[in-house]
Chain A
Amino acid sequence: MNLIECRNLALGYNGRAVLKGLNFNVEEGDFICIVGENGSGKTTLIRGLLGLIKPLKGKITYCNLKKNTIGYMPQETHVDAHFPASVFEIVLSGTLAQKHFKPFYTAVDKKNALQKLSLLNIANLKKESFADLSGGQRQKVLLARSLCATSKMIVLDEPSNNLDAHSKAELYQLIIRLNREFKIAVIMVTHDLDHDNLISDKILSLRGKDFFFGSTKEYVRMLHE
């Protein structure tokens, strides 16, 4: 069953298209990696899927998914690493959707945030300051926050940037578990296309004029031809 359908999609800024003629679907439980060089439009596509920019042309249809119920995890460098906030304060903010002018989090919000921390094995960090965490731990906190906002789909923007090999492998394992065990669709922007890191089922390549959207096996075969 489709979650998102993109048809003849053009996205860009100030009327100038960065991406044109893009067609693809995101199905329930999909794991899609978006690849492409710098400036190829990966971030623009993510912004479009999250509803942060409107299509210049074409259409994004959200099926079985409300527009603002996609969990988003930015690159680690996009948030202030020295921001004075506890892990729990940050993860709780993932439950803010549609909470207009309510001064307090409910018991359900707190339970939800705690569950996500436990799911990612970081419940012990609940009271720690975000600024005191390692890069890998910070990424898990941002992943837990994104999970608070969704039960169906997460969008990850280069989640392994600046991580050492061990932290990267640990994070990828968690993402794979979320996808396989909990059937959460994953869209992940990545530069990691080494053989070991081809963890997705499908690839959306924004390289060149002709986009590629298909299985990872097909993509690897195409690269070797």
Chain B
Amino acid sequence: MNDLIEMFSYSFMSRAAIVGAMLVICMALIGVPLVFRRNSMIGDGLSHVGFGAFAIASVLGLAPLQFAIPVVVLTSFFILRLTENSKIHGDAAIALLSVSALAIGVLVVSLTGTNTDINNYLFGSILSIGDTDIIMAVILSAMVFLLYLFSYHQIFSITFDETFTKSIGVNTKLYHFVFAMLCSIAVVLGMRLMGALLVSGLIVFPVLSARQITKTYQTTIIVSILVSIMAFFIGLVASYSLNTPTGATIIIVNMVFCLILKTISLF
């Protein structure tokens, strides 16, 4: 217990705990509709776009979050338009844009030789998060939470049966845009914690863990949030104690939770 108190007496650990907890809640919230719409990989795609945006921002000397969030939001709107109006399917649109953005990011980095920040965005670096990023992360997480709360029932209905939802006059396009915005913000923020390569784990694992023991939509969301918070704190403490990378450790803990709950569900 004393070790835990000492651990969180360091300002970098307490800051990581606050920001991380808010981020994992956002990821779990958007994870439930994404997983049940079979769009789990959108998190992966958007994180690659985020990586490209971070690379350009760091080369141009711009604030990374302030630059990356609008870019990723616009990209997610573009993916929506592509899938609505053309012959390109959702998964192809995501693959197309994510590899293009990744290629641009890698090219920019190799041409300019800047790689310190880029490594942070590839593998995550919540322990080195700065004051400005903390304020941004807290404000944006609160925004994601509130917008999600106010569109919760519409997102549920669209996820379950979009045609019915449209037929009763719900503006499904509007809610698609709102949800795309929420995903973009959550993914960009999540990259700070997990890195572009692991961020989709925070979307998928908590939902799959919750799904093993829940039967309703509301309880799936609540259990997803609880699982992601527990996995985050255990992963954070373990990574500090064992001196392992934070993002990867959190994902491994999530994986263990998923296996335990799957085993419980079998009995």
A97–B172 alpha-carbon span in the complex (Å): 11
With a CB–CB cut-off of 8 A, which chain A residues contact B151?
101
B217 touches A96 (CB 8 A): no
A86 interface residue (CB < 8 Å to B)? yes
Q: How far is the CB of B196 from the nearest CB of chain A, in Å?
A: 29
A56-64, A70-78, A112-120, A195-203 - the one binding chain B:
A70-78
Q: How far is the CB of A197 from the nearest CB of chain B, in Å?
A: 25
B170 touches A97 (CB 8 A): yes
A211–B153 alpha-carbon span in the complex (Å): 40
Q: How far is the CB of B22 from the nearest CB of chain A, in Å?
A: 19
Residues facing B in A102-155 (CB within 8 A) are: 102-103, 105, 128-129, 131-132, 145-146, 149
| Chain A: CB-nearest residue to B166 | A52
Q: Which of A52, A85, A98 is most buried by chain B, counting CB atoms within 10 A of its CB?
A: A85
B152 interface residue (CB < 8 Å to A)? yes
With a CB–CB cut-off of 8 A, which chain A residues contact B216?
84-86, 89, 129
A103 touches B149 (CB 8 A): yes
B153 touches A93 (CB 8 A): yes
A216 interface residue (CB < 8 Å to B)? no
B164 interface residue (CB < 8 Å to A)? yes
B83 interface residue (CB < 8 Å to A)? no
A79–B163 alpha-carbon span in the complex (Å): 10
B160 interface residue (CB < 8 Å to A)? yes
If A74-B164, A99-B153, A145-B164 touch, does A89 touch B217 (CB 8 Å cutoff)?
yes
| Chain B: CB-nearest residue to A89 | B217
A79–B218 alpha-carbon span in the complex (Å): 18
With a CB–CB cut-off of 8 A, which chain B residues contact A85?
156, 160, 216-217
B163 touches A84 (CB 8 A): no
Q: How far is the CB of A48 from the nearest CB of chain B, in Å?
A: 11
Q: How far is the CB of B226 from the nearest CB of chain A, in Å?
A: 16
| Chain A: CB-nearest residue to B163 | A74
B9 interface residue (CB < 8 Å to A)? no
Contact of A93 among B156, B169, B214, B220 (CB under 8 A): B156
Q: How far is the CB of A37 from the nearest CB of chain B, in Å?
A: 22
| Chain B: CB-nearest residue to A72 | B167
Residue interface mask A155-181, B partner, CB < 8 A = 1:
000000000000000000000000000
With a CB–CB cut-off of 8 A, which chain B residues contact A149?
167-168
A96 touches B154 (CB 8 A): yes
Q: How far is the CB of A43 from the nearest CB of chain B, in Å?
A: 10
Q: How far is the CB of A124 from the nearest CB of chain B, in Å?
A: 16
Residues facing B in A39-55 (CB within 8 A) are: 50-52
Tell me the B residues contacting A by CB distance below 8 Å: 36, 149-154, 156-157, 159-161, 163-171, 211, 214-218, 220
Tell me the A residues contacting B by CB distance below 8 Å: 50-52, 67-70, 72, 74, 78-80, 83-86, 89-90, 92-94, 96-103, 105, 128-129, 131-132, 145-146, 149
Extra inter-chain contacts (15) besides given A51-B169, A80-B36, A80-B160, CB under 8 Å: A52-B167, A68-B167, A69-B168, A72-B163, A84-B211, A84-B217, A84-B220, A85-B156, A90-B160, A96-B168, A102-B150, A103-B150, A103-B152, A129-B216, A149-B168
When A and B form their complex, which 4 residue pairs have the shortest distance between CB atoms, in order from nearest? A68-B169, A129-B215, A86-B216, A97-B168
Chosen A-B contacts, 13 in total, with CB atoms closer than 8 Å, are A52-B167, A72-B167, A74-B164, A83-B217, A90-B160, A93-B156, A93-B157, A94-B168, A101-B151, A105-B153, A128-B215, A149-B167, A149-B168
